[in-house]
């Protein structure tokens, strides 16, 4: 089990703008882009990333989890990620106030921070997988409520300030559980194809 805290992430205004357009139905204007830049600066002070992750061999994962691993998977990495509650607290305040744009901006910042934190951990795991001559699949977010308690207990998410109520198993908006499988890298054949033999020349008398 690996625990990592306070790693550096960079919020990307362009990705936040895409999220706002797709999820908040906002038109991307120069004024909105300026507001996004300001939200990025303010949000940096509120984000406190932390993560727990571990990698299980296929046999262990099959025995202890119900993850739908592919037939070629030889291992699976499971991770819990949080950006801390401060940004969510500010977002909740904004949602109760009259400034709907500020609430939208903070929702976008929260999603972007979670995404960037997840990708940071994914990159670390990809490096580990390469050392074992494996590729990693796409990251899959655990959204099924019935799975949350088991994986929360497996990772010990209280170590990064998270708790789950068994009566209402759900992670807070500023946290994420996810997994991705490892598969062996396909090795190319080292044998070179033999060149076809040339026909022998026949001497003409």
pTM for this model (two decimals)? 0.85
- Answer for the pair 136, 182: CB distance below 8 angstroms, yes or no: yes
pLDDT more than 70, % of the chain = 91
Q: Give the three-class secondary structure for 179.
A: strand
Supply the DSSP symbol for 46. Answer: T
For the ranges 59-63, 81-85, 140-144, 200-204, which has the lowest average pLDDT?
Answer: 200-204
Residue 184 to residue 64: CA distance in whole angstroms = 22
Domains of the chain: 2-184 (3.40.109.40)
More confident residue, 200 or 12: 12
Beta-bridge partners for 19: none
- Answer for the pair 154, 133: CB distance below 8 angstroms, yes or no: no
Per-residue pLDDT tens over the stretch 90-135: 999 999 999 899 999 999 999 999 999 999 999 999 999 999 999 9
For the ranges 32-46, 47-61, 125-139, 164-178, which has the lowest average pLDDT?
Answer: 164-178
105's CB contacts (< 8 A; 6+ apart) are 16, 20, 35, 36, 39
Q: Smallest Cα–Cα separation from 54: which of 75, 82, 83, 84?
A: 75
Other Cβ atoms less than 10 A from the Cβ of 85: the count is 17
Per-residue pLDDT tens over the stretch 137-160: 999 999 888 889 999 999 999 999
Task: Tell me which residue has tokens 């209402």.
Answer: 168
Q: Mean pLDDT across the chain, nearest whole number?
A: 90
Residue 184 to residue 12: CA distance in whole angstroms = 33
Q: Give the three-class secondary structure for 87.
A: helix
Q: Does position 34 have pLDDT exceeding 70, yes or no?
A: yes
Alpha-carbon distance values, 112 to 37, 149, 151 (Å): 13, 25, 23
């Amino acid at each position: 089990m690996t625990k990592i805290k306070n790693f550096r992430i960079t919020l990307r205004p362009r990705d936040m703008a895409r999220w706002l357009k797709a999820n908040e139905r906002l038109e991307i204007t120069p004024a909105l882009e300026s507001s996004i830049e300001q939200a990025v600066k303010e949000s940096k002070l509120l984000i406190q990333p932390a993560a727990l992750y571990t990698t299980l061999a296929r046999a262990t994962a099959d025995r202890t989890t119900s993850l739908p691993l592919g037939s070629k998977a030889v291992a699976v990495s499971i991770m819990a990620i949080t950006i801390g509650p401060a940004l969510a607290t500010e977002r909740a305040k904004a949602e109760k106030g009259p400034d709907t744009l500020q609430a939208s901006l903070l929702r976008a910042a929260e999603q972007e921070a979670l995404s960037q934190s997840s990708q940071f951990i994914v990159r670390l795991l990809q490096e580990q997988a390469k050392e074992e001559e494996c590729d990693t699949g796409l990251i899959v977010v655990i959204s099924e409520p019935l799975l949350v308690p088991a994986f929360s207990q497996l990772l010990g998410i209280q170590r990064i300030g998270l708790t789950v109520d068994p009566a209402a198993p759900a992670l807070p908006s500023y946290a994420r559980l996810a997994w991705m499988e490892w598969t062996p890298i396909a090795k190319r054949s080292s044998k070179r194809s033999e060149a076809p033999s040339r026909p022998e020349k026949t001497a003409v008398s």
